Chains A and B, each alone.
Chain A
Amino acid sequence: MSRSPLDYSINKPLSSRFNPLVFIVKDLILFFSLVGVLSFGLFMLYSASGQSMSMVYRQMIYICGGLILMVFVSHLRPNSYKNLLMHSYWLGLFLLAYVLIVPAKGYETSRWIDFGFFSFQPSEIIRLILPLSLVAYLCRKEIKPQLSDWLVTSAASLICAFFVYKQPDLGTAIIVLTSGLIPIYLAGLPFKIIASYFGLLIVSAPFIWSGLRPYQQERVLTLLDPDADPLGTGWNIAQSQTAIGSGGLYGKGYLEGTQSQLDFIPESHSDFIFSVIGEEFGLIGISLLFLIYGIIIWRIFKIGYSAESRFERLACCSLGFIFLLFILINVLMVIGIIPVVGVPLPLISQGGTSIVVHLLAFGVILSTKKI
């Protein structure tokens, strides 16, 4: 199991001939899986958007831009942008504070930054910036993180989550907090601290509960009793379940889904695109999609475990779990197991920010791979 530099230098020229494609994209399986999911997403977007080519073109531009960024980042040495990542936390925090202070006009909640030609939600960016900056912070020194490091990173996650909660968006706040806690936990957060966090949570639970708005309390209660429908989202979920259920094993065929083509599925091009996939391609289509997602996640961990530095390993594994978690949350939401939260289906749902940020994250993952 032990490797030596000697073996490495001997094996290198023998293992493979120089392949320019491998040189550029670094991991063929991961790259083509990504391209596969992305192109499948474009097809689904065409169907889900009521066959609007303009939406597909727009998405295609983001995908191309995202892929170029990904390849570019993948050729950087992780150490070279480690510090930049660490400080990007402040950019994320600034954006979160900005939407609270200067809410964009025309939206009910202060979640959006609107540049006119395009708009985005900072919370969508912070979901990936936060874990990376925390990993970078925890790995800024060679030595093991100290108690103060654990507390600082935990506090940093809490602050971000709190800002999102203030938008107000409880669901996303919980997701942001989770994406902050995953790298902290993976980095080796001592069990004593974990225990004390739980203790603190239990003690402060009544105060947090009374600090929640009534509709948020109800939303938490729906988690415990999903049949009650205080949000009135029951109709949306019922339509989405009907779409997936009526798709059956083989689906109704591409562009033949009545639920999606006749607009019965709300937000079918963004958060609810999974139900369009289910309706038109059935259980087989869903399984194939899960298979490719599985390959992508397998590659992330494969690359992560064989990375050279602690920072690289932690970054990969954190991003891998977060990617898996986003898929899971979106699917569970669409099939009606958890309440509706604003999480798009990664790499497929319409939305430039989500695509670009995810591809950037894959750039970071690929950059840890040595050829």
Chain B
Amino acid sequence: MKAHEKYEVFIGLEIHIHLKTRSKMFCSCKAHYGDEPNTNVCPVCLGYPGTLPLVNEKAMELGYLVARSLGCKTAERSSFARKNYFYPDMPKNYQISQFEEPVGTDGAVEADFGGGASRKIRIHDVHLEEDAGKMIHAGDVTLLDYNRAGFPLLEIVTEPDLKSGEETEAFLRDFQRLVRYLGVSDGNMDEGSMKCDANISINLPGKGLGTKVELKNMNSPRFVRLALNHEIIRQAEVLDAGGSLVQETRLWNENRDITEIMRRKEAADDYRYFPEPDIPPFFPDEAFLEKVENGMVELPLEKKRRLHSEYGLSREQAEFIHDEAETAHFFEETVKSGASPQQAASWLSSDIRKLLNRENLSLVESPLTAGRFSSLLKLINDGRISGKIAKKVLEKIFKDNLDPETIVENEGWSQISDPVELTSLVEKVMKENPGVVSAVRAGDVRQKGFLMGQVMRYSDGKAAPELTGKILDEKLEEKE
């Protein structure tokens, strides 16, 4: 029997995201990556004596926004606390965090596990805090960069409601989409703007939670899945062999695809939380709550379902279109200006996607606007260009940043749909290929394609395909 069949699995997450604010959580230093070490620092974020924290209200707003989107009860009174522990990269040796009165508590969010399976995942709380600096060990010295110290962080703690690595990966990808839709964070695990630690325990069904193991150092949703699945099997093997599990923290080793012990937890860490005396409690007023409300958008899962139900997109298409908010927006704009949803979706998920990948552009950055895309589709549907020409027009839009009509006109790519012109082309091709013509007339209809191809070649692909086919058929039926 497989591990996840014999045992019940409990997975909870602690997700940290860097909030996209201009300045740090408690001072006016730039919250910016990639600058020279120790340039975005001041006496406040370096923890000089006598300095005091000043709450970044934008971060507060984004915190409430995420809490609201995760179905949390948002705090009528929110306050900060000091979390005490010593670490060389932490300037004050306490982290200003939230403990008793976080911005959000008791949430629940529906997670879509694919194939129609979905479940509510409960959110324990959402709280604001500050990041620490960065320690770099170089030979026998240790270097410290405090640019990141004081970055606004939002931590989301789930209840242990996830059941497998696959579910957790899907949940994390949903969550990434959520924070990107809201515009509160980049949500990139490899770049460090999002971090995820997991706790996992297994037990015989009905026995409740098992011994909790904390997993760290997983730098992508995929690694989270691999680490959890590895851990489920490892824990099951220990139990199957009659052993017992130890409460500990383990690190994912992505080179060896295993988890390795980092430290045992004999007793729970004692952070000696107490209320932050430097920051008075925060009571959101109406103006603040209105700002939060204005930040709300249609969430990814709702969007995906609506794409499916309203436009009749397949699950795969909806999955692709909703993945990025800008794609979904682009899609809906295109449809609004008259394009067919199916057609728009299939162009978006094939040719346009390929071009974007090749040019390494996002839709917003690209010269293709919803208006241009819509007129391109209209040119096809009006029979003015063929699908093949449309692909060339698309390339040109990316290259020259011009409207499709202009390109078609400049390049003379309008489809030939004049019957006289097409008839003369067809006659020319038949005359040049008497053998093929005879063969078709003798019943080898497969060779008709060759004749069509030749017409296309002479017309630079502009011959209206349907009409050309009709004329060719007529001509082939005529006896000499």
Instruction: Decide whether A and B assemble into one complex.
Output: no
B-side residues, CB < 8 A to A, are none
A-side residues, CB < 8 A to B, are none
